[in-house]
Amino acid sequence: MKNLTKYRLASLSVSLLLALGLVGNVSAADVNKLVKECADCHEKDGNATDGETPSIAGMSVDYFIESMNGYKTDARPALKLKDKKEDMKDVVKKLSDEDINALAEHYSKQKFKPFKQEFDAGLAKAGKKLHKKYCDKCHSEGGTSAEDDAGILAGQPINYLKYSMDNYASGKREMGKKMAKKVKKMQKKAGDEGVKQVIHYYASQQ
Angle at 137 between CA 131 and CA 138, to 5 degrees: 95
Per-residue model confidence (pLDDT) at position 82: 76
Per-residue model confidence (pLDDT) at position 84: 84
Please state which CATH class domain 2-108 belongs to: mainly alpha
- Reported confidence tier of residue 22, pLDDT bands at 50, 70, 90: very low
Q: Domain 121-204 belongs to what topology?
A: Cytochrome Bc1 Complex; Chain D, domain 2 (1.10.760)
Q: Which residues contact 60 (CB under 8 A, 6 or more apart)?
A: 108, 146, 147, 148, 149
The percentage of residues in the chain with a pLDDT greater than 90, rounded to a whole number, is 81
Per-residue model confidence (pLDDT) at position 26: 73
Per-residue model confidence (pLDDT) at position 27: 77
Per-residue model confidence (pLDDT) at position 20: 41
- Reported confidence tier of residue 19, pLDDT bands at 50, 70, 90: very low
CATH 1.10.760.10 domain range(s) in the chain: 2-108, 121-204
Q: Which residues contact 159 (CB under 8 A, 6 or more apart)?
A: 51, 52
**For residue 14, pLDDT beyond 50:** no
Angle at 81 between CA 109 and CA 26, to 5 degrees: 35
Q: What is the C-alpha radius of gyration for the chain, rounded to an integer number of angstroms?
A: 17
- Reported confidence tier of residue 65, pLDDT bands at 50, 70, 90: very high
DSSP track, 42-74? H-TTS---SSSSPP-TT--HHHHHHHHHHHHTT
